Amino acid sequence: MTRLNGKPLRILQITDCHLGRDADESLLGLTTVDTLVDVLERAVEVEDSFDLVLCSGDISNDGTTGSYDRFIQIVRQHLPAVPLAWLPGNHDDPASMRAIRSAAPRADYLSIGGWNVILLNSRVPFEERGELPQSELKRLERLLESDPLSPTMIFLHHQLVPVGSAWIDQYVVSNAADFFAITDRFDNVRAVSWGHVHQEFYMVRNGVDLIATPSTCVQFKPLSDDFMVDSTMPGYRTYELQANGVYTTHVNRVTERAYSIDLASEGY
Ligand SMILES: [Fe+2]
């Protein structure tokens, strides 16, 4: 286990970057490379140093190896030497993620700063919805059973509970009940966090924080039953994890940018 000499563990979560094979890939009016750079610049400007950068899926918009190489190159330019972890979203291609030229980010599990960080794959090939395969549920159960004491955070791509927008809640993890049947048996799970919904979300279920993090590109309007783009800015989330199991988290967003967001779009 990596210890941090009493300092809290600081995680930067970025998500739903939607980078493409080409540098000018855009989504709903935003050039996704530019907004990722803006988000990372903001994080470096206003935050302390990080011990881990974690991307919770839809790193790529097209699943190309080139988009993953570009992602790592951009993160490295802003946060050199910070360990990197990632997991796949519905837009990602796990084979391409494994085929990148640089050292592969962690995609399974980390034990760091007295905390366990578990990454799960909720992707269903060629579908937008989430589901945790039995192999992932078994892996989660084994990891929790192997250390039922250390505070634990779990990351995946899809939302485990409805966030209040019918159009995107049809893609909720379809077997979330199986996930909760496992985590409900353990007292050391502190929080579960995801991307996919391109908005901030927070609730507490059975003493566990359930958290969604804004995308580094376009945002979706909260509590809208029909698809609706939001004018809020791209952002990130940080976590400060204390060795005693207490943690804090906050979202921060890009400021002072005049993006031409396609607010009238009816889908993506
Ligand atoms: Fe997604």
In the chain, what are the domain boundaries?
9-253
More confident residue, 100 or 6: 100
| C-alpha of residue 89 to centroid of ligand 1, in Å | 5
Each residue's pLDDT tens digit, 166-179: 999 999 999 999 99
- Calpha distance 131→159 (Å, rounded): 10
Each residue's pLDDT tens digit, 114-147: 999 999 999 999 999 999 999 999 999 999 999 9
| C-alpha of residue 241 to centroid of ligand 1, in Å | 26
pLDDT for res 144 = 98
| C-alpha of residue 173 to centroid of ligand 1, in Å | 12
Residue 248 burial by Cβ neighbours in a 10 Å radius (0-12, 13-18, 19+): exposed
Each residue's pLDDT tens digit, 31-63: 999 999 999 999 999 998 999 999 999 999 999
| C-alpha of residue 149 to centroid of ligand 1, in Å | 32
pLDDT for res 29 = 85
| C-alpha of residue 123 to centroid of ligand 1, in Å | 9
Average pLDDT, the chain: 94
pLDDT for res 1 = 45
Residue 207 burial by Cβ neighbours in a 10 Å radius (0-12, 13-18, 19+): exposed
| C-alpha of residue 195 to centroid of ligand 1, in Å | 7
> Where in 103-257 does DSSP place strands (E)?
109-112, 115-119, 152-155, 189-194, 201-205, 208-212, 219-220, 229-230, 235-241, 247-253
- Calpha distance 186→126 (Å, rounded): 33
Lowest mean pLDDT segment, chosen from 11-15, 88-92, 99-103, 132-136: 99-103
Q: What percent of the chain has pLDDT over 90?
A: 85
pLDDT for res 265 = 82
pLDDT for res 257 = 81
Q: What is the CATH number of domain 9-253?
A: 3.60.21.10
